[in-house]
Structure 1
Amino acid sequence: MTSEYSAHHLQVLEGLEAVRKRPGMYIGSTDSRGLMHCLWEIIDNSVDEALGGFGSRIDIVLHADGSVEVRDRARGIPVDIEPRTGLSGVEVVFTKLHAGGKFGGGSYAASGGLHGVGASVVNALSERLDVEVDRGGKTWAMSFHRGEPGNFAGDAPDSTFSPFENRSELRVAGRAAKGVTGTRIRYWADRQIFTKDAAFNVEELEQRARQTAFLVPGLEIVIRDERSDEASETSYRFDGGISEFADFLAPDAGITDTWRLTGSSTFTETVPVLQASGAMVATEVERECVVDVAVRWGTGYETTTRSFVNIIATPKGGTHQQGFEAALMKVLRAQVDQNARRLKLGNDKLEKDDILAGLTAVLTVRVPEPQFEGQTKEVLGTPAVRQIVANVVTKELNARFASPKRDDKSQTSLLMEKVVAEMKARISARAHKETQRRKNALESSSLPAKLVDCRSNDVDDSELFIVEGDSALGTAKLARNSEYQALLPIRGKILNVQKASISDMLGNAECASIIQVIGSGSGRSFDLSTARYGKVILMSDADVDGAHIRTLLLTLFFRYMRPLIEAGRVFAAVPPLHRVIIQHPGTKPNETVYTYSEQELQSLLARLTKSGKRWQEPVQRYKGLGEMDAEQLATTTMDRAGRTLRRVRVSDAENAATVFELLMGNDVAPRKEFIVDSSSNFSRERIDA
């Protein structure tokens, strides 16, 4: 550092130097995320062509040498000379920042590319980039090394490179079939720029490709991964558009069909327009904004929203999402107020979370030259779009509520009942959270009378056993450690919350008791920090009915108290199936061994027979927890020193919910198909009957 500071200390970065010096400004980061951003800059150029009606297939190939190739059959990058620079269109696109066909020249009505830096940034950050263009019956080709055009002596990125000295040359590499146009780009990311562990994520690539195929109906995107010995290929094409996308995203059964809300409007904005003289003149231009929204409400409480501008995802929202949510609030509040008496609304008001609960929405707008915040385009900033989206959604939703069709009337009625039930659940949960805390011995408790609580106030050390039946409860009372183990009995099988509404669930005594005892609320209002117990242990009989009850309970936890499962605080007790008393000769006391499956029992008996030992007949088989005495239940299932617990993980709960929806849900056809196709695959040994 020196105190001297004059003009010769200033640096002027020319052309692509700025990109290589500060790559994060253009692609966000230089790790795997930035590497994927570069790939999507290239793919989005092909997608913009498909959006304009040019080309219906894009191929993406991850080569074994670390390069990636993108091919399309669109119009092809222009190969003629751009008059201002004297360079070919290909060289302008790949070497000049802020150069392209998306600045309002009429080539694209709406596109994802805006700033003209995508391809040139990728070129600047590539060790080698090769481009081939089929156009005018010829195949034109050009190569670049870290953004500089020239020729390579071989096919590898580290081949000898010779830059052009006098003028660049777009060479003719072959002939193209008549009428065939398209572009092929293959590049090797520069390891001087990207971190060593930066790599292409196939799962992320497939997810984004699937998303794009939903947004551009009829476009096929093929991904081929050649980086392993066994190459894999995945193809995506969807003709149903965003309605199909919303159905794909929905995590629950629907209470409404997928509604399509479409419309358009124009607005004016003042933008600088490049004149023929080269001057920029502020000009008022008229824009058209096309709105297309797919919405559905389901039985759950999770919100899944995806928003897009010209097929570019805007994960942080923007003016289009603000307009959408404002319209939902306005319409549903008005409709619920009109039906306040029937819905028993009272004086409470709907909030945004009540309306968004169970919503799956895909929101797309198409706008020429939208205003984004930064090159990463995560937030839409065009102000006029907010009101246009709000007007379209308001008009279409009001028309749906006013529709005389029987299906529309039924679904809108169910929707109003759902949002009001969500509001009441939110208010109830808030009131419950404010009043429900662990009580000490001197305070009265408003907890269910059938709860047998523990004495400890240490949440981390305490355990709640949800016990099947009153008979098991009696034994468990004697077997538990009353210092830290609490018991809550449930009668039989609780409500199937997979197909029940929230109000039905809250109205069910068993479900309400479980939620009240745990003390953290349910659904969106669930607060893990206020849970009254460190572990929740499901203790049911080791038979089919016990497994069914455990599945019902898991479905309740998965749908309405999922953070407990995600935190690893839900367990299943593992009670034994058999008790074997091994008889010893003389005065040596008999030995008791417990087994947990028929296979384990037979293996034990075989070992005893082989060693000449005898056992007491008949071997006791427990039909339920109530058949054990307190000592046996404590030793095998409740005492921390000898018990076995199975931690329930989210994947287990998801599988249980999937199977439960199949076997017990509202949709009959998949269940019938499953029974017909799979009944022969069941093993009788797996059925406890």
Structure 2
Amino acid sequence: MANGNKKTDFVYDAEQIQVLEGLEAVRRRPGMYIGGTDTKALHHMVYEVVDNAIDEAMQGRCDHIWITIHKDESVTVTDNGAGIPVGIQQQMGMSALTVVMIKLHAGGKFGGGGYKVSGGLHGVGVSAVNALSTWMETTVKRNGKIYRQRFERGIPVSEVDEIGTCDPNDTGTSQRFLRDDTIFQVFEYDWPTLITRFREMAFLTRGVDFTFVDERPEPAREFNFYFEGGVQTFVRYLNKNREVFHAPIYVDIEVEGTQVEAAIQYTDGYNESIFAFANTINTPDGGSHLTGLRAAITRQVNDYARKQGMLKENDDNFTGDDTRQGMTAIISVKVLE
């Protein structure tokens, strides 16, 4: 029987059903796209744009990425990759550059052959950044020409203008944006937080130069990262203040189209430090790549101990915790789209 508490004095009809078009949904619910409007979300804006440059590097089309924080807290991310296409995208009937910047789920990462491996919010990242910025300018060098388009809160306020020429071999994309003060709760980027993330990206994208400049202080400060050793160098860096027992054990192999890179080094510590990444994105909750690494280490240590007579026939195997005590490890997988 009804309890008599059911409301009857309300209006809920077809007029209350709303459809958010284009990037309006991003501005209304930023937490669904970048996790919120706090410090972490503000920095995530930068990471999403840098991830696009990393994607170019993973295709072998880019070997240098520049990140600059300007005095007005705007950020520029530049790469020397192929450059976003500017020709007409037939499905939408507008420049591919405009499509990428204003349409969610648009890009070359959905099996079209543009990217075999990629990270970030596929087809959402840069358009979400555009939507959550007071203004954003995209500059592209491609086919010996320089193009630019400007957006304000995700809306194009200019065409894709040809603004100059360049060497045909000089290609790439530059994105400059200023976060929207009406959306974010914090407005300043934290230098140490960004340094840590860019160093991590450089370790995971070996052979790629990262130049990070902060123009806010006087004089400006600059960091450069370049690691030819990949995750081997990453493990050495993590263990720089620990006593290590051996050089890093390194694996770089392709398994059914997935590139697997791992480095392991034991120290005199008691705790394990394992970090897992998929397409350069940290996976703190683990995944099959992390589970597989842990299982393989435990199995190999027990097999070796049996063969060497360290474990007798009636002895129990070492547990996973036993085999990982004092271990520092990185596993990075690059999964095909």
TM range (shorter): over 0.9
The structure that is strand-richer by fraction is 2
Q: Deviations over 1:174-206 (max 9, x none)?
A: 2222321111111000011100x3421111111
Matched, 1:129 2:98: no
Specify the SS of the correspondent of 1:38. helix
Residue 245 of structure 2 corresponds to: 255
CA distance in 1, matches of 2:269, 2:314: 24
- What is the aligned counterpart of 1:333 among 302, 326, 333? 302
What does 1:361-510 align with in structure 2 at a 5 Å threshold? Answer: 361-369=329-337
Give the C-alpha shift of residue 333 in structure 1: 2.2
Question: 2:207 aligned with 1:200, yes or no?
Answer: no
CA distance in structure 1 between the aligned counterparts of 2:192 and 2:54, rounded to whole angstroms: 19
The equivalent of 1:173 in structure 2 is 163
Equivalent in the alignment of 2:29: 22
2:106 aligned with 1:99, yes or no?
A: yes
If the length of structure 1 is used for normalisation, what is the TM-score? 0.46
Residue 292 of structure 2 corresponds to residue 292 of structure 1:
no
> What is the alpha-carbon distance in structure 2 between the residues aligned to residue 138 and residue 331 of structure 1?
55
The equivalences for 1:540-619 within 5 A come to none
> Which protein shows a greater Rg?
1
Q: TM-score, normalised by structure 2?
A: 0.93
- SS state at 1:221 partner: strand
Cα–Cα, structure 1 residues 345 and 187, in superposed 2: closer, same or farther, change >3 Å?
A: farther
Query: Which residue number in structure 2 is paired with residue 264 of structure 1?
Result: 254
Is 1:3 equivalent to 2:27 in the alignment? Answer: no
1:233 Cα deviation from its structure 2 partner: 0.7
Which residue does 2:279 correspond to in 1?
A: 310
Q: Specify the alignment match of 1:322 in structure 2.
A: 291
Are 1:102 and 1:114, in contact at CA under 8 Å, matched by a contact in 2?
Answer: no
**After TM superposition, which residue ranges in structure 1, 4 or more long, deviate above 6 angstroms?**
none
The CA deviation string for residues 133-176 of structure 1, in whole angstroms up to 9 with x for no partner, is 1112211010001000004xxxxxxxxxxxxxxxxx21111222
Q: 1:118 aligns with which of 125, 138, 151?
A: 125
CA shift digits 1:574-611 (9 cap, x unpaired): xxxxxxxxxxxxxxxxxxxxxxxxxxxxxxxxxxxxxx
Give the whole-Å Cα distance in 2 for the aligned partners of 1:203 and 1:34. Answer: 16
What whole-Å deviation, never above 9, does each CA across 1:610-663 have from its counterpart, x for those lacking one? xxxxxxxxxxxxxxxxxxxxxxxxxxxxxxxxxxxxxxxxxxxxxxxxxxxxxx
SS of the aligned residue for 2:157 comes to strand
Task: Read off the aligned partner of 2:304 and give its amino acid letter.
Answer: Q
Aligned equivalents of 2:11, 2:67: Cα separation in 1: 52
Does the 8 Å contact 1:259/1:296 carry over to 2? Answer: yes
Distance in 2 of aligned mates of 1:240 and 1:339: 32
SS at match of 1:353: helix
Asked if 1:242 corresponds to 2:231, the answer is yes
Give the number of the structure whose residues are more often helix, by fraction.
1
Percent identical pairs in the alignment equals: 40
Shift of 1:346: 7.0
Question: 5+ unaligned residues in a row in structure 1: which ranges?
Answer: 152-168, 267-287, 370-689
Cα distance in 2 for partners of 1:223, 1:126 equals 21
Q: What is the distance in 2 between the residues matched to 1:231 and 1:33?
A: 24
Alpha-carbon distance between aligned partners in 1 of 2:109 and 2:103, rounded to the nearest angstrom: 14
Trace 1:44-123 onto structure 2 (pairs within 5 A).
44-113=51-120, 115-123=122-130
Mapped partners of 2:135, 2:215: distance in 1: 19
Following the alignment from structure 1 to structure 2, what is the Cα–Cα distance between the partners of residues 313 and 105? Answer: 25
Give the Cα–Cα distance (whole angstroms) in 2 for the partners of residues 28 and 346 of structure 1: 52
Query: Alpha-carbon deviation of 1:70?
Result: 0.7
Task: Report the secondary structure of 2:65's partner residue.
Answer: strand
- 8 A contact 2:141–2:171 mirrored in 1: yes
- Match of 1:256, SS state, is coil
- Alpha carbons 1:103, 1:114 under 8 Å: kept: no
Contact 1:101 1:108 survives alignment (8 Å): yes
Whole-angstrom distance in 2 between the partners of 1:263 and 1:69: 35
